[in-house]
Amino acid sequence: MADKKQSKKAGSEAAEIRKPVGAVMVVGGGVGGIQASLELANMGYKVYLADSSPSVGGVMGMLDKTFPTNECSMCILSPKMVEVASNINIEVITLADVLSVEGEVGDMRVKLRIRPRYVDIGKCTGCGDCTAKCPVKIPDPYNAGLDTTRCIRVPFPQAVPGAAVIDPEVCRWLTKEKCGNCVKVCQAGAVDFDQKEREETFQVGMVIAAPGYRPFDAGRKTEYGYGVNQNVVTSLEFERILGANGPTQGHVVRPSDGEEVKKLAFVQCVGSRDTTVGNGYCSSVCCMYATKQALIAKEHLPGIEPTIFFIDMRAYGKDFEKYYTAAESRHGVRYVRGLISGIRERQRTKNLLLRYADEAGCTQEEEFDLVVLSIGLEAPCGLKEGLGLEVNEYGFAEADPFLPVLSSRPGVLVCGAAQEPRDIPDTVTQATAAAGIASQALHGARNTLLTRREHPPEKDVGGEEPRVGAIICRCGSNIGGFVDVPAVVEYAKELPGVVWAEERLYACSQDAQDWIRQVVEENGLNRLVVASCTPRTHQPLFRETLQSAGVNKYLFEMANIREHCSWVHMQEPENATRKAQYLVKMAVEKARRLEPLVEGESGVIPRGLVIGGGVAGMNAALNLAASGFQVYLVEKEDELGGLARNIHFNLKGEDVQAYVKELADRVEREELITAFTAHEIVDVGGFVGQFKTLIRDAEGRETLLEHGAVIVATGGGQYQPTEYLRGEDGRVLTQWELEKRIAEKDPALADVERVVMIQCVGSREEERPYCSKVCCTEAAKNALALKELSPRTEVFVLYRDVRTYGFREDIYREAREAGVVFSRFDDDVRPDVRDVAGTLQVRVPDANLAGEMVVLNTDLVVLSTGITANPDNAALAPMLKVPRNAEGFFLEAHMKLRPVDFATDGVFVCGLAHAPKSIEESVSQAAAAAARAESILSKDKIVTEGVVAVVDADKCSGCGICLQLCPFEAVTYDEEKKVAVVNTSLCKGCGTCTAACTAGASRLQGFRSDQIFEQIEAAASAWRE
């Protein structure tokens, strides 16, 4: 195993004296905590996932859609939640708060206070009978209190754990010893009023804090009248209003009268960029979520007129700018620059009058039907008290300036919005990075605390006639109350192939699993059908049970007679019973044709390849090496360092050059890293676990590298301007040139009387319609540094929007306080730089002064040039079989949840190769990419799903249609046999290729055409009966 190969670290004294504990406590079950937990479990660690609420899911679980793809939030989150629930190495602890953390890295003790749920999670089936009988109404927290639920309820349909919870403060039994309806009605006997609050201590090697954020309390901005004016809602409430699963089923209506909204206003920066409430920082996400909400509202109600009142539109992330411009130009979202100073409610109509200063400085008042306050993100509770972390002035966790997942306390890593307000992909990136960093400290104990499920050897059922067993579940009264279950059992018994059928009160309960195992063995069953609820949540459980009875788990089929039958035909029991019978028949007919499937295996070469030796690449390589893996680092230039060699100090004043040099030194010293400078990639072959890459040096000598994973860190470039007299006049510099002179303390700078900086040079333009993300901060940073160097120097920054997101807002404010003048110009104009008789002159219509022309004679013009994609990406992309976007940056597998993955397995991306970003973001991404690579390299073999496509070589005509269709590059063409071949290690089992195969050679295992045909025939014949 890879771990044994690692030489240096394991030999160090600490590891020998005390072996670390191979478990991690993850605090917070939002998307960050979920991601960290899944990564860690995947890398071989036991995980405790503690959340203070009754379900994991966090805020993302409440969102309707996500920007900038408008993707359904729950659709992408809920599979991850189900994965958490079904992973035996992740123990979810709900209603838990951290009391204390003690110990050292590798050996820590976390004390939790666990509040009682009053429902036994092991017994509760989530059927909802208790909720139906509970007399106590409470505002539904999942719907942000916009509608009501009952005191006992499953928190939301997709909740994990999917068990009910009781609110002890309002429960009539717990407060007055009255009622007790839930106890009476629960057929599973799950309600347990004897549960007590308890404290428990967990021994772990590391702690990852992912507690998320606290939404700003909108009531604190009294001028907006939140809580007083009925039609003023927060953005989180509006998100629920938009939700198809929300209180209004997605109808955009007003709380006051339920009328459809016509004029909708968003007020930005509520509780952000606002020192009057103590929040000097920018919350980073509100501009984009407001844009998203406006777009979705428009989708739901085409006639709606959304207006967003903002200060600066901060569309700084990947593809954000395009999203914003499309919202404005194509979808009719109106953006008005101006902060709302007050909201008044009209008495009769409950409409709202918004007062603001327009761009000309005149006070305007406009009437709206509904106002959404874009509330900011505040620091969560418990960082300091429970976790013992140092916090900054705003209460967020203090972090390392280069790798923000490192908190002030060794052994406790922090990710997501608890460290700085950030969006989902950045949170996922950090969570993945944190998992990787934890693994570096704990890899000596990898796989030591894992539980593995052992199963008896599989019986060979190959030659046997199908012997189908059918279990019809009553699900308490959920199915049994509407469907005549005994009639379904009788019907099932008569179906061909069925040798045994019975009903069960709860087929999913623990004792039922033992019973199923027994009946499978006693009746010699070789196929199992369970007619109960949805296979999306319960198939893994039953498959597991079947496996434990020695039967291949793919010989299983479910009939969903609850969600798709009893619950949706509650008023017509006869029809429901008939439909349940038909569904069972379809399942049985398919089950008869099921065949045992084998999960594929392929070997893993435990070495990584990192392409690019800049800050991202070096960090990726060092991270992988720290987890004990050999790494090849290939850099095309003669020396390591990349673009960061042009940056001298960051906004916290840290010496970037020293950092880059230290990284390069560490790379050279690290025995596990072999660096190939002045080498280029010639060819990449193979697939996940087994890549073969050919590299070549300047003299044409070639080297073949074999490795299991690839990290693409090819970096980016700097836009080379020819505008603004650049190249013609020596007084026109770039920010990097200025920064170099500041860092070198160029004495000439002290004599400079005036400097004019121009933003968005090469960014947010037609050719490059993206924001370069770093230039605003860079300009503010250098402006401030100039002011420090010589306070007399006048600095003007000509900008379009100042995009100093997160804590970068502080430096923007400091710059203004230091006298730097920020002057805005409109999107469609550009400053004019000219040489007037030897004097450098900049002319610009100032948009904040109603377009009045400002003329500045200046000593220096400094251009904030954008970041461009590395042109080498074009040649590399087809070799790696990965896509690029229109601007030439690499395109990740999923914008939100797989920010460092490619759709092609085993290939990962980080740094500027992915999109423009800051150094600390590149470093985080590099750590995340390394962690993702580690999840492959740490395994002996890659096990693939049984549900994959296969090609029957005898039938294949070699037409190649399937090759083009496969989004995962899993199908290749065998030149010798002239047929298509599926690489099961890469196949994801979508079956798109099979549908296109005219020869019927390509088949999806478990969903073969003949199996589906049987289902269709069964449905038709059942109806004909």
Partner 1 sequence: MAEESKKNDEEDIRILAFLCNWCSYAGADLAGVSRFQYPPNVLDVRVMCTGTISPYFVIKAFQEGMDGVLIAGCHIGDCHYLKGNYMTAKRFQVLREALKFLGLEEGRLRLEWVSAAEGEKYADVIRSFTEEVKALGPSPLRGKKAAKAEVGA
Question: Are 907 and 756 spatial neighbours (Cβ–Cβ below 8 Å)?
Answer: no
Closer residue to partner 1 (CB): 644 or 1004: 1004
Among residue numbers 230 through 249, which ones bind partner 1 (CB under 8 A)? 243-245, 249
Binding to partner 1 (CB under 8 A) within 157-176 occurs at 157
Stretch that binds partner 1, among 277-285, 403-411, 582-590, 723-731 (CB under 8 A): 582-590
Rounded to an integer, what distance in angstroms lies between the CA atom of residue 30 and that of residue 80?
A: 11
- Pick 103 or 989: Cβ nearer partner 1: 989
CA distance 106 to 19: 7
Binding flag, residue 180, partner 1 (CB under 8 A):
no
Nearer to partner 1, 74 or 370 (CB): 74
What string marks each residue from 956 to 985 as x (binds partner 1 by CB under 8 A) or -?
Answer: ---------x-xx-----------------
Q: Name the segment binding partner 1 (CB under 8 A); options: 185-193, 334-342, 430-438, 568-576.
A: 568-576
Is 219 in contact with 358 (CB distance < 8 Å)? no
Question: Which residue blocks in 144-203 are alpha helix, DSSP H?
Answer: 172-176, 181-185
Q: Which residue type, as a one-letter code, is found at position 110?
A: V
Q: Nearest approach, Cβ of 563 to partner 1 (angstroms)?
A: 3
Select 157 or 410, whichever has its Cβ closest to partner 1.
Answer: 157
Tell me the closest approach of the beta carbon of residue 237 to partner 1, in angstroms. Answer: 17
With CB under 8 A as the contact rule, the residue among 1, 381, 570, 750 that binds partner 1 is 570
Applying CB under 8 A, among 28, 30, 62, 64 the residue interacting with partner 1 is: 64
Q: Find the part of the chain contacting partner 1 (CB under 8 A) among 66-74, 286-294, 463-471, 846-854.
A: 66-74
Question: How far, in Å, CA of 388 to CA of 407, rounded?
Answer: 10
Burial of residue 463, with CB atoms counted within 10 A of its CB: 0-12 exposed, 13-18 middle, 19 or more buried: exposed
Q: By C-beta, is 82 or 694 nearer to partner 1?
A: 82
Closer residue to partner 1 (CB): 725 or 1019: 1019
How far apart CA 919 and CA 387 sit, in angstroms, is 27
3-state secondary structure 257-295: CCCECCEEEEEEEECCCEHHHCECCCCCCHHHHHHHHHH
3-state secondary structure of 985: coil
DSSP state of 337: E
Nearest CB to partner 1, comparing residues 671 and 1025: 1025
> Cβ distance 585 to 1018 under 8 Å?
yes
Q: In this chain, which stretch among 32-40, 507-515, 710-718, 988-996 interacts with partner 1, using CB under 8 A? A: 988-996
CB of 68 to partner 1, least distance (A): 11
How many Cα atoms are found within 13 Å in the side-chain-facing hemisphere of 290?
34
Q: Does 299 bind partner 1 (CB under 8 A)?
A: no
Structural element, H or E, at residue 557: strand 556-560
The reply on whether position 877 binds partner 1 by CB under 8 A is no
CA 282, 283, 284, 290 torsion: positive or negative? Answer: negative
CB of 962 to partner 1, least distance (A): 11
β-pairing verdict for 679-687 and 673-676: unpaired
> In the complex, what is the shortest distance from the CB of residue 792 to partner 1, in angstroms, rounded to a whole number?
54
456 binds partner 1 (CB under 8 A): no
Judged by beta carbon, residue 70 or residue 201, the one nearer partner 1 is 70
Residue 246's identity, in one-letter code, is G
| Residue closer to partner 1 (CB basis): 205 or 1006 | 1006
Cβ atoms of 944 and 987 within 8 Å: the answer is yes
From the CB of 929, what's the least distance to partner 1, in Å?
Answer: 20
Considering the rule CB under 8 A, would residue 404 count as an interface residue with partner 1?
no
Structure tokens at 976: 């010798």
Per-residue x/- track, 119-158, partner 1 (CB under 8 A):
--------------------------------------x-
Under the binding rule (CB under 8 A), the answer on residue 991 touching partner 1 is yes
Within 8 A by CB and 6+ apart from 966, the residues are 987, 992, 993
Q: Of the two residues 141 and 989, which places its CB atom closer to partner 1 in the complex?
A: 989
Closest CB to partner 1 among residues 73, 279: 73
Of 304 and 949, the one with the shorter C-beta distance to partner 1 is: 949
Indicate the DSSP class of residue 578.
Answer: H
Q: According to the binding rule CB under 8 A, does residue 886 interact with partner 1? A: no
Q: From the CB of 731, what's the least distance to partner 1, in Å? A: 48
Nearest to 29 by CA among 50, 2, 4: 50
Region from 75-83, 223-231, 431-439, 847-855 binding partner 1, contact rule CB under 8 A: 75-83
722 binds partner 1 (CB under 8 A): no
Q: Given the complex with partner 1, which of 92 and 903 has the nearer CB atom?
A: 903
Instruction: Assess 582 for contact with partner 1 (CB under 8 A).
Output: yes
589 scored as a contact of partner 1 (CB under 8 A): no
Helix residue spans in 808-892 (DSSP H):
808-817, 873-880
- Strand, coil or helix: 234: strand
- Smallest CA-to-CA distance from 616 within 435, 433, 864 is with 433
Residue type, 1024: R
Give me the 248-267 binding string for partner 1, x by CB under 8 A, dash otherwise.
Answer: -xx-----------------
Nearer to partner 1, 252 or 622 (CB): 252
Residue where the block lists tokens 């970003």: 917
Q: Which lies closer to partner 1 via its Cβ, residue 59 or residue 965? A: 965
Q: Which residues pair with 375 in a beta bridge?
A: 270
Among candidate residues 101, 320, 271, the one with its CA nearest the CA of residue 201: 101
End-to-end Cα distance, the chain: 59
- Report 812-871 residues binding partner 1 (CB under 8 A): none
Is 536 a residue that touches partner 1 (CB under 8 A)? Answer: yes
Shortest spacing between CB 1009 and partner 1, in angstroms: 4
Residue 510, classified by CB atoms within 10 Å of its CB into exposed (0-12), middle (13-18) or buried (19+), is exposed
What lies within 8 Å, CB to CB, of 805 at 6+ separation is 282, 284, 314, 316
Q: Measured from the CB of residue 899, what is the shortest distance to partner 1 in angstroms?
A: 16
Residue 422 contacts residue 773 (beta carbons within 8 Å): no
> Between residues 21 and 903, which has the closer beta carbon with respect to partner 1?
903
List the one residue from 341, 575, 720, 857 that touches partner 1 (CB under 8 A).
575
**478: nearest Cα among 190, 188, 249, 135:** 188
Q: Which amino acid is at 245?
A: N
Nearest distance from C-beta of residue 326 to partner 1, angstroms: 14
Q: List, as one string, the DSSP characters of 549-598.
A: TTS-TTSEEEEE-IIIIITT-TT-HHHHHHHHHHHHHHHHHHHHH-----
Q: Residue 506 and residue 116: Cα distance in Å, rounded?
A: 24
Residue 330 makes contact with partner 1 by CB under 8 A: no
CA distance 746 to 743: 8
Residues 230 and 834: their CA atoms lie apart, in Å, by 55
- Note whether 564 binds partner 1 by CB under 8 A: yes
Residue 709 one-letter amino acid: A
Q: Work out whether 800 is an interface residue with partner 1 (CB under 8 A).
A: no
Stretch near partner 1 under the rule CB under 8 A, chosen from 570-578, 614-622, 780-788, 798-806: 570-578
Q: Are 495 and 584 within 8 A, CB to CB?
A: yes
Which residue in the set 115, 636, 764, 1003 belongs to the binding site for partner 1 (CB under 8 A)? 1003
Residues that bind partner 1 (CB under 8 A): 64, 69-75, 78-79, 157, 243-245, 249-250, 534-536, 560, 562-565, 567-572, 575-576, 578-579, 582-583, 586, 903, 947, 965, 967-968, 988-992, 994-997, 1000, 1003-1004, 1007, 1009-1010, 1012-1013, 1015-1017, 1019-1024
